[in-house]
Structure 1
Amino acid sequence: MGRIEEDSRDQLLERVARRYFVDGMLQENIAAIEHLSRPSVSRLLTEARARGVVQFRIGPPVDRILELEAALLRRTPLDRCVVATGKPRALYGPSSRWGYVAARHVETQLRNVSIFGVASSRSLSSLAGSMAAGHRPELTVVDLLGCLPGGRSHEVPRYLDATALARDAAPRHLAGDRTHKAGRTSEDGPNTAQLIAARLGAAFVPVPAPFVYRSAASRDAALGSKAIRDALGIGPRCDLALVGVGSMQRFDGTGSYSPIPAKALKDLAAQGATGHLCGHFITADGVILDLPDYPALLGITVEGLRQIPQRIAAAAGRHKVASIAAAINANLITELVTDQPTAATLLTELQA
């Protein structure tokens, strides 16, 4: 075979391999285009692999940016950083890439967890929707914030009695497996914690009360309920917490759209707040603002949150960069799951 024939065959190998492995064409269609038989196409594909025209590489998942993860770990005190790529969401169907990656990370962290606290928020809805269906009857998902239960009838988790669970001094030996009928779909739909419990096939302990109140007096009245106090008392004893991080653009609470008006957020920003987490407003250098009067919120305290050994924040969006940095500075989170644009901007801000 002369040089011209060799070059022609090499080009044919590359064309056939590209049509098959890159364009996804069927062998019979390639054969028709190249005027070959189907067995000839199969032999050419085998030769292409043998001669290195086609190369397979095994490496870390391509849905994460390991370089950014390592850089963030060097610049922060966080235990883990997970950064999702900015590739099209279509690869995982209706779920966003960030939500998919965040859900997979949370699932890996739940293997030895008995009590899982979730601070419901709209920002976690993509993660919750990407959780794989499971059967974890030994796991209990607990609301960390006041959030009225809702949900569809085919997606209702098993409820545990909060009072019985709160009496148990050892979280890994849960007691009082009494159930009650879950509510129908609420006006705002199911809260994130409830949805995650349903997806995991886990038990669920709600904090069946609103998160935001017009006054401290009305919030204190809700705390007069023993069931609510007991449910909130479980939060600090969680093995793992999942939280969102909010910017000063709006405050959606646990589902209701903007329960704290924009003017109030502007006033809080004037006091130095750059973001909020679990309803606690934080300055850029990590100071938690003391706001005794407004807003009146019902949820886990800062001290209670810090008692949880593993605290994962799932947040994405450049408008949340300052909020994420503040949460890190305040030692409110131990892990961060975010996306590539957010991580890159955060890293630039940390290096400034």
Structure 2
Amino acid sequence: MPTERSNLREPAIGGLAPSQLRLLTKVARMYHEHGMRQPQIAEQLHISQPRVSRLLKQATELGIVRTTVVTPSGVHAELEERIERRFGLRDVVVADPGQPAPGEQSVLQAIGAAGAVYLETTLTGGDRIGISSWSSTLLATVDAMRPRPTPVAERVVQVIGGVGNSTSQVYATRLADRLAILTGAEAVFLPAPGLASSPAAREVLMSDPHISDVLATYGGLSMLLAGLGSLEPSPLLVESGNAIADGEQEALRELGAVGDICLRFFDEKGQAVRSPLDDRVLGIDVETLRSIPRVVAIAGGSRKYTAIRAALRGGWVDVLVTDLGVARRLAAEPDDR
């Protein structure tokens, strides 16, 4: 039948005749489906190994071989990527508490576990890590981490004063000390309260060489590990004695503040809110904080949503570890940039 013979001679996919496509398909099946190595394929088909490599590449280019990534249950890669694009983040880790309406403790545990895995994966050596002192999510993260066989960080430095109520101060000390032990780093503590009683008291404290020497290390940090606070302080911060008073909260609210990172407050759009409180904080300043190459925020829960969104809008954060509920709300935010 002339018509059929004519069709057999016509070029097919990519301008290749069926006989050529047959070899491409055969090599692709041998490699991808039967698990044969390239030298085995070359020997069996009596062609060179470089040709096998070229044929495999060509099979991919022509769509004969297609790579499909199947997302496992509990992994939210597409959601993470949407948030990364929406807010210009380097990385997003979404933790799934695995419950339809998880409580704060379930969210805290899920975020802590996800934060621990992120740090174990990305700390590869030489980092100088700043860490805030009064954060339940950071405590959950460090408690979930496993020790590394070799040092993966050079130094762990408190970036806000860790002195407070004698009971809660144990948490601040444990946070920096435990992370240093787990990563094989040197722990550097800031022996001062996070919030001085007055600007004059802060100046006196900052003149102490033990304190000023620690503050001087902040410019060399390669990474900051922090929680994100809402305007209402967390129970841990209240217990520490470093929480702002009700009157100061109201003053900040009138200035538009919705959240903070290391007691540096910002408004709904993520713009820094300057107030008299800045002159009482013993810790990293805004300019130094924002110059750190990698700022990792570990925060979640509906109570923190407004603060998290504002921090992302203002570019305070490079990497976010949060829970599924917050992530879905962030992904649904309109792009108002």
Q: Same fold (TM over 0.5)?
A: yes
Q: Which residue of 1 aligns with 2:127?
A: 114
Q: Which residue of 2 aligns with 1:190?
A: 171
Choose which of 66, 83, 86 in structure 2 pairs with 1:72.
83
**Is the alpha carbon distance of 1:328 and 1:87 closer, same or farther for their aligned partners in structure 2, counting shifts above 3 Å?**
same
Kept in 2, the 8 Å contact 1:78–1:333? The answer is yes
Q: CA deviation at 1:63?
A: 4.2
Q: Which residue of 2 aligns with 1:305?
A: 289
Q: CA deviation at 1:293?
A: 4.7
Q: State the alpha-carbon separation in 1 of the partners of residues 305 and 279 from structure 2.
A: 23
Choose which of 84, 87, 111 in structure 2 pairs with 1:98.
111
Q: Which residue of 1 aligns with 2:203?
A: 220
Kept in 2, the 8 Å contact 1:121–1:253? The answer is yes
Q: CA deviation at 1:235?
A: 1.6
Aligned pairs (5 A) from 1:1-352: 62-87=73-98, 96-123=109-136, 124-137=138-151, 139-148=154-163, 187-191=168-172, 192-250=175-233, 252-253=236-237, 256=240, 259-293=243-277, 296-351=280-335
Where 2:187 maps in the other structure, the secondary structure is strand
Q: State the alpha-carbon separation in 2 of the partners of residues 349 and 237 from structure 1.
A: 35
Q: CA deviation at 1:294?
A: 6.0
Give the residue type in structure 2 aligned to 1:245.
Answer: L
Q: CA deviation at 1:121?
A: 2.2
Give the residue type in structure 2 aligned to 1:148.
Answer: V
Identity of aligned residues (%): 29
Q: State the alpha-carbon separation in 2 of the partners of residues 227 and 254 from structure 1.
A: 26
Q: CA deviation at 1:194?
A: 2.2
**Is the alpha carbon distance of 1:85 and 1:239 closer, same or farther for their aligned partners in structure 2, counting shifts above 3 Å?**
same
Where 2:259 maps in the other structure, the secondary structure is strand
**Is the alpha carbon distance of 1:59 and 1:203 closer, same or farther for their aligned partners in structure 2, counting shifts above 3 Å?**
farther
Give the residue type in structure 1 aligned to 2:92.
Answer: C
Q: CA deviation at 1:99?
A: 0.9
**Is the alpha carbon distance of 1:136 and 1:209 closer, same or farther for their aligned partners in structure 2, counting shifts above 3 Å?**
farther
Q: Unaligned stretches of 5+ in structure 2?
A: 1-68
Q: CA deviation at 1:253?
A: 4.2
Where 2:92 maps in the other structure, the secondary structure is strand
Q: State the alpha-carbon separation in 2 of the partners of residues 208 and 142 from structure 1.
A: 11
Deviation string 1:183-204 (CA, Å, 9 cap, x unpaired) is xx86531312222223333210
Q: Which residue of 2 aligns with 1:157?
A: none
Deviation string 1:76-96 (CA, Å, 9 cap, x unpaired) is 11111111112269xxx9x82
Where 2:170 maps in the other structure, the secondary structure is coil
Q: CA deviation at 1:287?
A: 1.4
Q: State the alpha-carbon separation in 2 of the partners of residues 130 and 254 from structure 1.
A: 24
Q: State the alpha-carbon separation in 1 of the partners of residues 78 and 118 from structure 2.
A: 17
Kept in 1, the 8 Å contact 2:164–2:193? The answer is no
Kept in 2, the 8 Å contact 1:236–1:300? The answer is no
Q: CA deviation at 1:112?
A: 3.3
Aligned length: 259
Q: State the alpha-carbon separation in 1 of the partners of residues 183 and 84 from structure 2.
A: 29
Q: State the alpha-carbon separation in 2 of the partners of residues 245 and 132 from structure 1.
A: 24
Q: Which residue of 2 aligns with 1:167?
A: none
Q: State the alpha-carbon separation in 2 of the partners of residues 257 and 298 from structure 1.
A: 14
TM-score where L is the length of structure 2? 0.69
Give the residue type in structure 2 aligned to 1:320.
Answer: K
